[in-house]
Amino acid sequence: MPLVAANWKMNPNNLDDALDLVRGVMAVARGQADRVEVAIFPPFPWLTAVSDLLVDSGVKLGAQNVFWEMAGAYTGEVSPPMVKALCQWVIVGHSERRLHLGETDDMVARKTAAALSCELGVIMCVGELADHYDAGTSDQVVSAQVRAALARCSADDSARLVIAYEPVWAIGSGRNADPEHAYKTMRLIRKIVGEMIGAGAARKVRILYGGSVKADNVQSYVELPLCDGVLVGGASLDADEFAHIVKVTSEVYGHR
Ligand code: PEP
């Protein structure tokens, strides 16, 4: 089933607005649960209230980050069991964390493994910078990121592992990737999954596209044969725009 994931980043700044947005998403997702999986990723402080509101809605909840240790003296961090108490999903390795918080491939790999070991679904993000894209080295960069993360995964994890291909230059820029480029990179990712954790896993792991997905371009990604959905940032903060993205995804996969 396709996954449409809403990364709210560090928005909105008050709980009432967050809950209004959740109500909008619940209205969108109603009746779609057997056609498309919808997951929202609000900031940590809103997770408890959002979790209460989502009961029986079919909409899944996720956190935007997690630490790799299970407990201990790690000020400011949130453990996988804490996330698991409220959420079904977590995002790891988002490019904004790699860029602003210095997350390395090794840290992303540890987070991925720790979250999977607690039965969380993990959206592990990879993607090249504009310089890599311009230099034609996207494949090498993405391949290194995927290989590093998968080094700590096994075939047993594949049903709960999602890899989001998000070219960094496309995130929040309004410059979405050419679908052909996205397709080639997703094909590469699936090949690496097959090499590293087996052919069965390569079929099960879902691969998303992310980077300036909007209502008017989502179809060009979700209709790609290897694409299992989208990770949406900015456009997920507008309930109508997000509704359209969910609807298009559901229709395209309904015809597959
Ligand atoms: C993201 O935050 O993962 C993202 C893809 O953002 P945007 O849709 O705003 O480019």
Q: Which residue, by CA, sits nearest to atom 3 of ligand 1?
A: 233
pLDDT at res. 61: 98
pLDDT band at 255 (very low <50, low <70, confident <90, very high): confident
Separation between Cα atoms, residue 206 and residue 221, nearest integer Å: 14
| pTM for this entry | 0.97
pLDDT at res. 52: 98
Percentage of the chain beyond pLDDT 90 is 94
Which of 139, 82, 74, 147 minimizes the C-alpha distance to 108?
A: 147
What backbone torsions phi and psi does residue 188 show, to the nearest 5 degrees?
A: -65, -45
Which of 32, 34, 100, 26 minimizes the C-alpha distance to 57?
A: 26
pLDDT band at 91 (very low <50, low <70, confident <90, very high): very high
pLDDT at res. 202: 92
Q: Which residue, by CA, sits nearest to atom 6 of ligand 1?
A: 233
- Residues having CB closer than 6 A to ligand 1 are 7, 9, 166, 171-172, 210-213, 231-235
pLDDT at res. 254: 84
pLDDT at res. 68: 98
Separation between Cα atoms, residue 105 and residue 156, nearest integer Å: 21
Question: Does 64 have pLDDT greater than 90?
Answer: yes
What's the whole-number mean pLDDT along residues 145-150? 96
Residues 6+ apart with CB under 8 A from 250: 2, 32, 35, 36
Percentage of the chain beyond pLDDT 70 is 100
Question: Which of 3, 4, 7 most suits a substitution to test ligand 1, by most atoms within 8 Å of the C-beta?
Answer: 7
Q: Burial letters for 138-162: b for 16+ Cβ neighbours within 10 Å, e otherwise?
A: beebbbebbebbbebbebebbebbb
pLDDT tens per residue across span 167-193? 999 998 989 899 999 999 999 999 999
With tokens 């993405």, the residue in question is 142
Ligand 1, atom nearest to 234 Cα: 9
Residues 6+ apart with CB under 8 A from 90: 62, 63, 64, 65, 66, 80, 83, 115, 120, 121, 122, 123
Decide: 191 and 146 in contact? Cβ < 8 Å: no
pLDDT band at 34 (very low <50, low <70, confident <90, very high): confident
Question: Does 63 have pLDDT greater than 80?
Answer: yes
* Number of other CB atoms surrounding residue 137 within 10 Å: 14
Question: Which of 3, 8, 9, 99 most suits a substitution to test ligand 1, by most atoms within 8 Å of the C-beta?
Answer: 9
Place domain 3-254 in its CATH homologous superfamily.
Aldolase class I (3.20.20.70)
Q: Which residues are catalytic?
A: 94, 166
Q: Which residue, by CA, sits nearest to atom 7 of ligand 1?
A: 233
